[in-house]
Amino acid sequence: MAEDLQIHSGTKAEQYSSLLPQIKGLLEGENDLIANTANVVAALKEQFGWFWVGFYFVKNDELVLGPFQGPVACTRIKKGRGVCGSSWAQQQTLIVPDVEKFPGHIACSSLSKSEIVVPVIRNKEVVAVLDVDSDAYDQFDTTDQQFLEEMVSLVNF
Ligand code: SME
């Protein structure tokens, strides 16, 4: 496995398309959850330069902060709270073009302006969420949703 990530420019879909096989390579032969989720967020951060990228893991009745890249963040989120807790409760990806307009949004940083949260579902249960924040408005769409959902499906939870 090569540990150097090849960064590609181009459309968002092209960037994801070059990243996906590299992430598959990074995950190959490794089944440690922390190692794999850490590499996924690092690869996403390196390719896209987003403000914050990280996983929250479902532990008992809360989401607990996992591997991330970006500024320090809140450590625990209740089910149904904020974008992350809502994605968990609704078992679906949430795209938020303007976080200030999302009722109950949890502002870990005032610099975060838009967000996408993708639930990781195994055996019909949410086991984690992937949270991506941008410091610009309206940065995420169904292309991000499609590729990020595919990416989290690769991780062995
Ligand atoms: N904004 C998220 C909280 C997590 S931070 O953005 C890293 C939310 O509303 O759930």
pTM here? 0.96
pLDDT at 2 over 80: no
Give 10-65 pLDDT, tens digit per residue: 999 999 999 999 999 999 989 999 999 999 999 999 999 999 999 999 999 999 99
* Residue 70 near residue 51 (C-beta atoms within 8 A): yes
What pLDDT score does 4 carry? 86
Give 110-122 pLDDT, tens digit per residue: 999 999 999 999 9
- The rounded Å distance from CA 21 to ligand 1 centre is 28
Residues with CB under 6 A from ligand 1: 52, 73-74, 77, 82-84, 105-106, 108, 112, 115, 131, 133
Fold of 12-154: Beta-Lactamase (3.30.450)
Three-class secondary structure of residue 99 per DSSP? helix
pLDDT at 1 over 90: no
Among 105, 114, 126, 130, say which to mutate for ligand 1: greatest number of ligand atoms within 8 Å of CB.
105
